[in-house]
Amino acid sequence: MVDHSHPFVPTLPFVPTLRDVARHAEVSLATADRVVNRRPGVRASTIERVEEAVRVLGFERHAGAAALARRESFRAVALLPRGTNPFIARLADELHLAARLQGLRRLDLSILRTDSFEPTRLAEAIRSAAGQAQGIIAIGLDDPLVTAAIDAVAETGIPVVSLVSDVPASRRRHYVGIDNRAAGRVAASLVGRFAGRGATRAFVLLGSHALRDHLDRLDGFRDALGRRFPALEIAAIVEGHDDAARTETAMREVLSGIGMPDAVYSAGAGASGLVAALRERGGSPVVVAHELTDETHPLLVSGAIDALIVQDPGHEARSAVRVLMAALTGGAISEDQERIRIEILLPDNLPK
Amino acid sequence: MVDHSHPFVPTLPFVPTLRDVARHAEVSLATADRVVNRRPGVRASTIERVEEAVRVLGFERHAGAAALARRESFRAVALLPRGTNPFIARLADELHLAARLQGLRRLDLSILRTDSFEPTRLAEAIRSAAGQAQGIIAIGLDDPLVTAAIDAVAETGIPVVSLVSDVPASRRRHYVGIDNRAAGRVAASLVGRFAGRGATRAFVLLGSHALRDHLDRLDGFRDALGRRFPALEIAAIVEGHDDAARTETAMREVLSGIGMPDAVYSAGAGASGLVAALRERGGSPVVVAHELTDETHPLLVSGAIDALIVQDPGHEARSAVRVLMAALTGGAISEDQERIRIEILLPDNLPK
DNA sequence: CTGTTAGCGCTTTCAA
DNA sequence: TTGAAAGCGCTAACAG
């Protein structure tokens, strides 16, 4: 029953092609293709025969060849916040790379930087991106204006993938990023266990109250602290706008106002400003921060930061691109591969 | 200068094909192909012209089409240890999947289980696999016999990729897995910080002294403990053969011999046996173990295990397949994407 | 040293 | 409802 079309390569297994399926079912290539791709216009009895052949031969369609023949090509836009945040810069690079290496289908991805913390601007950017693209990737802002823009665009059939910071109420096709509440809980566990029994006061540092991801982290942190380390309470919540200089100023103020805490959870960017302010007053509380960047790396090595909670920007970018392509081509994604993990970095498991 | 071969799709960018390059350089498709793939037999001045065209047009070869035209197909064997270790079972599944989804080229991967802890058997399996395969993936055993077998096979031109446990002295093409010394150091940090100041005695649980990965973990653990938590010393090293029942027996013996420790680092599998033995004697030291499986999951949730150090079997399998394919086809790999991370799991960041 | 030609496995007109 | 044929972008003989 096995058709050795290459009799001179005895050990290679027979891999059936669509042509083999067609032959076996005694139909043309075109008909076999119609059945395999569930296209209409085939008699039920013929479908039956072809499907039988697929089963018997164990046919699996060659994704690469299909992509080539389809000769599709897509245009998409990625919207990232402007600013000094090094994690965002890294993400932009990785998105570029991921789009180029897309392999099977062609993706032309333009990356646009918009004003973060500014719902109006982001909403506007989303609407305008929809004019020039078939798909959108965006770092979200949880705001009614943004939600409305995403919904309007989605209505048009243009898939929107939220990245890193979700817009949960919107009709975004998919959120690619970590579970930020869980990240906050992890931070609480680390802070609680590292700080030890005597600790009573923790500070939380946020980029902004407008960022869904930071708020979620705060929620998770508060929740886990309350349940597992009730002696530790959140003595202050500080806004640093993801910027080192502004963070330093804000921290200075709080420190001189209510004194040194036992622990600090920096849920946004700008950790070097935090560390500078702490050093200035000679304190060394337990510090847990987010993301591995040129800013945080030396601080972890030196011990100024005790642990880092990170998400892999390379993985996130590849995942966003895969998910968007799947939406664009009607393909499937494997939830498991697209789940972004929360990683914990100690000086001992720093990459490289 | 832009050639709109599809004048009706105005917004799509022009993506040059090899044909465009050939036209631009005024050579045939075949010659352009030779230059782009660095094949010999082209005059220097022609190479120059083609490379110029590649630069000007921004040509990038379409990997999918190339793979299709090459019509290559490979046969490979993966050698995994027999036994009850659930992590290995998971890895086998993921390898299957990764081979099927390889997409661009075809890979026929057979998975063979051999006797672990048995250098003779593994060496023999490697030699015999070389007879029926063009490439080999194997979970290593750091032993002269295995090294010799790998070297002999590599000599034949058959690439061997070591997975999870390396055979560093051999001519394996690549090692896919975590840095196990770093994992040991991470374990030491967690154990040291979680156990607190009063702690003095730690036990280490190994699958076997023959496993390079377990030994490396022990090394890293010992090293970091010595440097950062000198008060904590390794009071016992126990062998459990990666099996719950044997681990329980061994632990029982040690516990009745020298009593309860402040912390246990389980560097191999079989953690449920460890927990059972500890419970039996009413102790609850800090426990750090490896891998997220059906065995360890409930233990982490219940608090019997404090932290898990894990490697992602899905990522490892995909990486091993990619690396092997690259070796087989002479392709390139991106070191960065292939680095396997050490992840730390607390109850708070359990996936799902 | 260079060009021509026939595919790879699949999708897509267009015609029957 | 079905089939024939052209072609996606690239590679691999085989000629010249």
Q: Does B62 touch chain A (CB under 8 A)?
A: yes
The answer to whether the CB atoms of B68 and A73 lie below 8 A apart is: no
A179 against B326, higher pLDDT: A179
Alpha-carbon distance of A289 to A125, in angstroms, equals: 30
Residue A145: is its pLDDT beyond 60? yes
The answer to whether the CB atoms of B11 and A182 lie below 8 A apart is: no
What is the SS3 assignment for B168-198? Answer: CCCCCCEEECCCHHHHHHHHHHHHHHHHCCC
Residue of B71, B304, B315, B59 lying closest to A334 (CA atoms): B315
Percent helix, strand, coil in chain B, to 5, is 50, 15, 35
Q: Domain spanning B180-310 has what CATH number? A: 3.40.50.2300
Instruction: Judge if the beta carbon of B66 is closer than 7 A to nucleic acid strand D.
Output: yes
The answer to whether the CB atoms of B103 and A342 lie below 8 A apart is: no
Q: Closest chain B residue to A193 measured between Cα atoms? A: B194
Q: Where are the domains of chain B?
A: 18-61, 74-177+313-340, 180-310
Residue of A316, A319, A317, A309 lying closest to A342 (CA atoms): A309
Q: For residues A303, A307, A312 and A316, what is the CA-based torsion angle, rounded to 10 degrees?
A: -130
Residue A4: is its pLDDT beyond 70? no
Q: Which of A70, A158, A349, A352 to mutate to test the interface with B (most CBs of B within 10 A)?
A: A349
As its CATH architecture, domain B74-177+313-340 has 3-Layer(aba) Sandwich (3.40)
- pLDDT grade for B97, boundaries at 50, 70 and 90: confident
- pLDDT grade for A104, boundaries at 50, 70 and 90: low
Shortest Cα distance, chain B CAs vs residue A253, angstroms: 31
B135 in Cβ contact with B157 (< 8 Å): no
- A161-165, A307-311, A321-325, B223-227: the lowest-pLDDT one: A321-325
Res B13: pLDDT: 62
Res A94: pLDDT: 92
Minimum-distance residue to D3 (CA–C1'): A28
Residue of B207, B237, B239, B248 lying closest to B83 (CA atoms): B207
- pLDDT grade for B333, boundaries at 50, 70 and 90: confident
Amino acid at B10: P
Asked whether this chain's domains B18-61 and B74-177+313-340 adopt the same fold, the reply is no
The answer to whether the CB atoms of A103 and B337 lie below 8 A apart is: no
Shortest Cα distance, chain A CAs vs residue B19, angstroms: 15
Res A1: pLDDT: 31
Residue of A239, A298, A314 lying closest to A269 (CA atoms): A239
pLDDT, tens digit, 9 for 90 and up, residues A45-71: 999 999 999 999 999 888 888 888 887
- For A:75-104, CB contacts with B below 8 A are 75, 100, 103-104
Query: What's the mean pLDDT in B220-228?
Result: 96
Tell me which nucleotides of strand D come within 7 A of a protein CB: 1-14
Q: Which residues of A touch B104 (CB under 8 A)?
A: 64, 103
Superfamily per CATH, domain A18-61: lambda repressor-like DNA-binding domains (1.10.260.40)
Q: Which residues of A touch B68 (CB under 8 A)?
A: 62, 64-65, 68
Minimum-distance residue to D9 (CA–C1'): B65
The answer to whether the CB atoms of A15 and B336 lie below 8 A apart is: no
- A67-81, A157-171, A251-265, B24-38: the lowest-pLDDT one: A67-81
Res A117: pLDDT: 75
Q: Does B108 touch chain A (CB under 8 A)?
A: yes
The answer to whether the CB atoms of A68 and B64 lie below 8 A apart is: yes
Nearest nucleotide over every DNA/RNA strand to the B25 CA, judged by C1': C2
Res A103: pLDDT: 59
